[in-house]
Amino acid sequence: MLTTVQQELIQAIEQLDLEKVKALLADGLDPNFLEPEKGPPISIICDVLFQWWQPIYDAYEEGTPIAESEKQNSLTVYLDILDTLIAANANLHLWDSEEFFGPLWDAASAACVPAVQRLLDHKVNPNTLDDEGLTVLSSISQLMYECDFDEIDWDETWPEEQQTLQLLREHGAKMTKELV
């Protein structure tokens, strides 16, 4: 069972309340705990990144892409919370307790290149397997394109998705079949 302060941190992350996150962590709260349904705080912020990605994806689908500056402005608070958790020594290698996805998978599924880069810079393993036995690269490729990385038609991808997958690859991510 979570303490009141732990619950407050989860709520602050979900509400993108950077100041509250900073205050709770400055008071000594250890960010390395598991919310039974959502996983550790680091996974929660990476999972919440999908709120940033969904309008961008929808705009691409509608043929009205969002300006790069607007994308970056809306991303700032997510990255600030991620950086705050990293600075508080959050364990970046924890995976969700039930869903079998970690922060790298969550950030990659939201096509968030800066978040993926931060996690890779902190040596998060891009070849951890999910609950279906797939690497992050294979799992995200399947999620986005219903095929493995080596079968993707790059002409059919959005820039953030392509950059995310290629960033993973550049940092040693392998397709599941390459691990055999």
Confidence at residue 117, expressed as pLDDT on a 0 to 100 scale: 98
Structurally, the chain folds into a number of domains equal to: 1
Q: What is the pLDDT of residues 155-166, one digit of tens each?
A: 999 999 999 999
pLDDT at 128: 86
The mean pLDDT of 137-151, rounded to a whole number, is 95
pLDDT, tens digit, for every residue of 83-114? 999 999 999 986 654 555 789 999 999 999 99
Q: Which domain holds residue 76?
A: 4-179
Which CATH number fits the domain that encloses residue 125?
1.25.40.20
Assess whether pLDDT exceeds 90 at residue 39.
no
CA angle, 75 as apex, 69 and 77 as ends, to 5°? 125
Residue 54 has pLDDT above 60, yes or no: yes
Contact residues for 143 (Cβ-Cβ < 8 A; gap 6+):
109
On whether the CB atoms of residues 110 and 163 are closer than 8 A, the answer is no
* Separation between Cα atoms, residue 98 and residue 36, nearest integer Å: 8
